[in-house]
Amino acid sequence: MQRSLTERDQQVIWHPYTQHKQMIPPVPIVHGKGALLFDESGNAYIDAISSWWVNIHGHAHPYIAEKIYEQARILEHVIFTGFTHEPAVLLAERLLPLLPGDFSRIFYSDNGSTAVEVAIKMSIQYWKNKSAKKTKILAFHHSYHGDTFGSMSVSDRSVFTAAFDDYLFEVIFMDVPAPGNMEELKQKLNQYAGEIACFIYEPLLQGAGGMRIYDAGLMDELLQAVQSQDIICISDEVLTGFGRTGKLFAGEYLKHQADILCLSKGISGGTMALGVTACSQRIFEAFLSDDRSKTFFHGHSFTANPIACSAALASLDLLQKEDCLRSIQNISFQNKKFISGLESSNEKRRIKNIRQLGTIAAFEIITGNDEYLNNISFSVTKQAMENGIYLRPLGNTVYIMPPYCISGEELEKVYDFLTHLKI
């Protein structure tokens, strides 16, 4: 008797962020179209979180698929040391003018964690190349920047890092700016200013830390204080980039811009693994030297993969079309209406911290336990799947982050489910 895909999976696969002792059998997905995922029985699920925040144009988009196919027939990959190719150069040429800040160079890697690793290493080596002893790193509480060791180190200590805390390098953590705490933050900054190499932050939205939104005006004030101390600023836009916050990049809400910016997730429309670290000319020039030891010794086997770059170019084509930009604004507007309705309804007695930023809406279920390991998430996911929707709460934080192609009817179905969620 032929085994099902689920049974075969359970014999050979180790899934991410999964306790296999308690694992619900995985649902076999056989194809996708638009905002929908289809299982082997033909059931459809609205992908309300864009498959871990990467899918911005919908599944199996024919235009992106065609561009991937075209590139695969020409050049699938080539070492990116000593060689170059059109997709990598063109993508850099198109990205740099769009980014919020004065960036001059693009460094390619494979994903969000590696984009952050590159940024951290650039910052540390920048000061070493200048013979300056600035080695400390500043980051926010509740931050999350990835799962490799450098990106874990600059992430808040949590269940994600607990097993590795003894191996992570020291970081100075502080709260995100909020009314009443600015003087405290500036005092902490002044205490370590001469030693801090860089400050890394997720602009306006801390994703995996619980979809925490904070104020742009106060963040600008903090960035001004940080930059006055000649500290390199790293903006982690791995999640917030490419329209998620209602603007093309979250940095567009800010007056003060970063020296280094990290991108991934939506960059390829959710089709190919790709990471980008953009830096200013000031950063790049610190590595220009007749002394070869000042070289930036970092790279990946699949750096600037031509197929991935082609997918990113195709995604950018779609993103810059008027209908996509209108969809982003429409989802943002509908989210705002939905959040307003939740705030004024009886549902507020069972939920808290109702909030919205662009295409992202979130709230917490009141359970007395605000930790990531809160089991309420299993109940929400189960109910959602039974209603033809895929959601994956962060503990008791329920959120939506749909692809921009989601229809009005599909979006209303998600809203209606959340409004009548059984808690």
CA distance 81 to 93: 19
Say if CB 36 and CB 405 are below 8 A apart. Answer: no
CA distance 64 to 183: 48
CA distance 238 to 244: 10
Count of positions (residues) in the chain? 423
- DSSP, collapsed to helix, strand or coil, labels residue 399 as strand
CA distance 112 to 265: 7
- Rounded to whole angstroms, the maximal C-alpha distance in the chain is 69
Active site residue 404: no
Closest-CA residue to 275 (of 249, 299, 250)? 299
Question: Which one of the listed residues 67, 134, 136, 265 is annotated catalytic?
Answer: 265
Backbone angles phi, psi at 180, to 5 degrees: 100, -10
Active site residue 348: no
Question: Which one of the listed residues 17, 63, 69, 167 is annotated catalytic?
Answer: 17
Question: Which one of the listed residues 144, 201, 253, 399 is annotated catalytic?
Answer: 144
CA distance 130 to 340: 52
Active site residue 236: yes
- DSSP, collapsed to helix, strand or coil, labels residue 179 as coil
CA distance 32 to 45: 9
User: What residues contact residue 148 under an 8 Å CB cut-off, 6+ apart?
Assistant: 113, 114, 116, 117
CA distance 115 to 277: 5
- DSSP, collapsed to helix, strand or coil, labels residue 285 as helix
**Secondary structure of 290-333 in HEC code, one letter for each residue:** CCHHHCCCCCCCCCCCHHHHHHHHHHHHHHCCHHHHHHHHHHHH
Active site residue 144: yes
Give Rg (Cα) of the chain: 22
**Is residue 192 classed exposed, middle or buried when 0-12, 13-18 and 19+ CB atoms within 10 A define those classes?**
middle
Give the residue numbers marked as catalytic.
17, 144, 236, 265
